Amino acid sequence: MGARLVMAGIVLVASPRRYFGFKTMFASILIIAFSLVLLVYWFRYSCILLLRNYEVPAASSQSIAQNRFNVAEVQERLRTEQVLDPLHASLQRDYQVLTYLIEHASGLGLQEFEDRLLVIDYKVMQSWYRITKIAAPDQARNALVEMASVLSILVGKIDQRAGVSSEA
Protein backbone atom coordinates (compact mmCIF):
# COMPACT_ATOMS: atom_id res chain seq x y z
CA MET A 1 0.00 0.00 0.00
CA GLY A 2 2.90 2.33 0.71
CA ALA A 3 4.20 1.87 -2.80
CA ARG A 4 0.89 2.95 -4.27
CA LEU A 5 0.90 6.20 -2.35
CA VAL A 6 4.45 6.96 -3.45
CA MET A 7 3.55 6.37 -7.08
CA ALA A 8 0.48 8.58 -6.81
CA GLY A 9 2.60 11.30 -5.21
CA ILE A 10 5.14 11.19 -8.00
CA VAL A 11 2.47 11.44 -10.66
CA LEU A 12 0.81 14.40 -8.96
CA VAL A 13 4.12 16.23 -8.46
CA ALA A 14 5.42 15.54 -11.98
CA SER A 15 2.26 16.68 -13.74
CA PRO A 16 2.53 20.43 -12.95
CA ARG A 17 6.20 20.47 -13.98
CA ARG A 18 5.39 18.90 -17.32
CA TYR A 19 2.67 21.50 -17.91
CA PHE A 20 4.99 24.34 -16.88
CA GLY A 21 7.70 23.02 -19.22
CA PHE A 22 5.24 22.95 -22.12
CA LYS A 23 4.22 26.57 -21.51
CA THR A 24 7.86 27.65 -21.36
CA MET A 25 8.75 25.74 -24.49
CA PHE A 26 5.73 27.13 -26.35
CA ALA A 27 6.61 30.69 -25.28
CA SER A 28 10.22 30.19 -26.40
CA ILE A 29 9.15 28.87 -29.79
CA LEU A 30 6.72 31.76 -30.18
CA ILE A 31 9.44 34.31 -29.33
CA ILE A 32 11.90 32.70 -31.76
CA ALA A 33 9.31 32.62 -34.55
CA PHE A 34 8.35 36.25 -33.96
CA SER A 35 12.03 37.26 -33.93
CA LEU A 36 12.63 35.46 -37.23
CA VAL A 37 9.65 37.21 -38.81
CA LEU A 38 10.99 40.57 -37.63
CA LEU A 39 14.47 39.71 -38.96
CA VAL A 40 13.07 38.86 -42.40
CA TYR A 41 11.00 42.06 -42.38
CA TRP A 42 14.04 44.13 -41.40
CA PHE A 43 16.15 42.48 -44.12
CA ARG A 44 13.60 43.09 -46.88
CA TYR A 45 12.95 46.67 -45.78
CA SER A 46 16.69 47.42 -45.59
CA CYS A 47 17.27 45.98 -49.06
CA ILE A 48 14.40 47.97 -50.54
CA LEU A 49 15.76 51.16 -48.96
CA LEU A 50 19.26 50.43 -50.28
CA LEU A 51 17.91 49.81 -53.78
CA ARG A 52 15.91 53.05 -53.73
CA ASN A 53 18.86 55.03 -52.37
CA TYR A 54 21.37 53.88 -54.95
CA GLU A 55 19.05 53.56 -57.92
CA VAL A 56 19.65 57.01 -59.38
CA PRO A 57 23.46 57.16 -59.08
CA ALA A 58 23.90 53.63 -60.41
CA ALA A 59 21.62 54.26 -63.39
CA SER A 60 23.27 57.56 -64.29
CA SER A 61 26.84 56.29 -64.49
CA GLN A 62 27.89 55.46 -68.04
CA SER A 63 31.34 53.96 -67.71
CA ILE A 64 33.54 51.25 -69.09
CA ALA A 65 32.42 48.79 -66.41
CA GLN A 66 28.75 49.43 -67.18
CA ASN A 67 29.42 48.69 -70.86
CA ARG A 68 31.19 45.40 -70.10
CA PHE A 69 28.30 44.05 -68.05
CA ASN A 70 24.90 43.13 -69.48
CA VAL A 71 22.91 44.57 -66.58
CA ALA A 72 21.55 47.60 -68.42
CA GLU A 73 20.54 45.47 -71.40
CA VAL A 74 18.82 42.94 -69.14
CA GLN A 75 16.94 45.73 -67.37
CA GLU A 76 15.63 46.94 -70.73
CA ARG A 77 14.73 43.45 -71.95
CA LEU A 78 12.91 42.62 -68.71
CA ARG A 79 10.21 45.13 -69.67
CA THR A 80 9.33 43.39 -72.93
CA GLU A 81 10.58 39.80 -73.09
CA GLN A 82 8.41 36.92 -72.02
CA VAL A 83 11.14 34.27 -71.72
CA LEU A 84 13.07 34.91 -68.52
CA ASP A 85 15.66 32.12 -68.44
CA PRO A 86 18.12 33.77 -70.90
CA LEU A 87 17.93 36.97 -68.87
CA HIS A 88 18.59 35.02 -65.69
CA ALA A 89 21.58 33.34 -67.33
CA SER A 90 22.94 36.73 -68.37
CA LEU A 91 22.57 38.07 -64.83
CA GLN A 92 24.29 34.96 -63.49
CA ARG A 93 27.21 35.51 -65.84
CA ASP A 94 27.52 39.13 -64.71
CA TYR A 95 27.35 38.04 -61.07
CA GLN A 96 30.12 35.50 -61.61
CA VAL A 97 32.32 38.11 -63.32
CA LEU A 98 31.62 40.58 -60.51
CA THR A 99 32.47 38.08 -57.77
CA TYR A 100 35.65 37.14 -59.62
CA LEU A 101 36.66 40.80 -59.76
CA ILE A 102 35.86 41.30 -56.09
CA GLU A 103 37.87 38.26 -55.04
CA HIS A 104 40.92 38.82 -57.25
CA ALA A 105 41.29 42.57 -57.75
CA SER A 106 43.04 44.48 -55.02
CA GLY A 107 41.04 47.26 -53.40
CA LEU A 108 37.73 46.33 -55.03
CA GLY A 109 36.28 44.25 -52.20
CA LEU A 110 32.89 44.77 -50.64
CA GLN A 111 33.82 45.97 -47.18
CA GLU A 112 30.64 47.89 -46.41
CA PHE A 113 27.79 46.19 -44.60
CA GLU A 114 25.30 47.53 -47.14
CA ASP A 115 27.18 45.87 -49.99
CA ARG A 116 27.08 42.53 -48.23
CA LEU A 117 23.36 42.95 -47.62
CA LEU A 118 22.89 43.53 -51.33
CA VAL A 119 24.84 40.37 -52.17
CA ILE A 120 22.66 38.37 -49.78
CA ASP A 121 19.58 40.00 -51.33
CA TYR A 122 20.80 38.93 -54.78
CA LYS A 123 21.12 35.33 -53.58
CA VAL A 124 17.69 35.42 -51.92
CA MET A 125 16.10 36.81 -55.09
CA GLN A 126 17.89 34.15 -57.14
CA SER A 127 16.29 31.46 -54.97
CA TRP A 128 12.93 33.24 -55.18
CA TYR A 129 13.24 33.30 -58.98
CA ARG A 130 13.88 29.56 -59.10
CA ILE A 131 10.88 28.90 -56.86
CA THR A 132 8.43 31.15 -58.71
CA LYS A 133 9.49 30.98 -62.37
CA ILE A 134 6.89 28.33 -63.26
CA ALA A 135 4.05 29.04 -60.83
CA ALA A 136 4.19 32.85 -60.69
CA PRO A 137 6.00 34.42 -63.66
CA ASP A 138 5.26 37.97 -62.49
CA GLN A 139 6.98 37.29 -59.16
CA ALA A 140 9.90 35.74 -61.05
CA ARG A 141 10.14 38.84 -63.24
CA ASN A 142 10.15 41.06 -60.13
CA ALA A 143 12.94 38.93 -58.68
CA LEU A 144 14.99 39.39 -61.85
CA VAL A 145 14.35 43.14 -61.78
CA GLU A 146 15.65 43.29 -58.22
CA MET A 147 18.65 41.10 -59.08
CA ALA A 148 19.51 43.41 -61.99
CA SER A 149 19.19 46.46 -59.74
CA VAL A 150 21.52 44.91 -57.17
CA LEU A 151 24.08 44.08 -59.84
CA SER A 152 23.82 47.56 -61.30
CA ILE A 153 24.53 49.11 -57.91
CA LEU A 154 27.43 46.78 -57.16
CA VAL A 155 28.97 47.27 -60.61
CA GLY A 156 28.66 51.04 -60.15
CA LYS A 157 30.40 50.86 -56.78
CA ILE A 158 33.17 48.65 -58.12
CA ASP A 159 33.63 51.01 -61.07
CA GLN A 160 33.76 53.98 -58.71
CA ARG A 161 36.37 52.26 -56.51
CA ALA A 162 38.41 51.26 -59.56
CA GLY A 163 38.33 54.86 -60.81
CA VAL A 164 39.40 56.20 -57.43
CA SER A 165 42.23 53.68 -57.08
CA SER A 166 43.47 54.30 -60.62
CA GLU A 167 43.59 58.05 -59.99
CA ALA A 168 45.59 57.58 -56.77
Position 69 confidence tier, pLDDT thresholds 50, 70, 90: confident
Sequence spans of domains, the chain: 43-167
What's the CA gap between 140 and 146, in Å, rounded? Answer: 10
- At residue 165, does pLDDT exceed 60? no
- At residue 168, does pLDDT exceed 90? no
pTM listed for this prediction: 0.76
3-state secondary structure 83-109: CCHHHHHHHHHHHHHHHHHHHHCCCCC
At 6-33, the pLDDT tens digits run 444 444 444 555 566 778 888 999 999 9
| C-alpha 5, offset from chain centre | 60
What's the CA gap between 108 and 60, in Å, rounded? Answer: 21
At 91-119, the pLDDT tens digits run 999 999 999 888 887 777 777 899 899 99
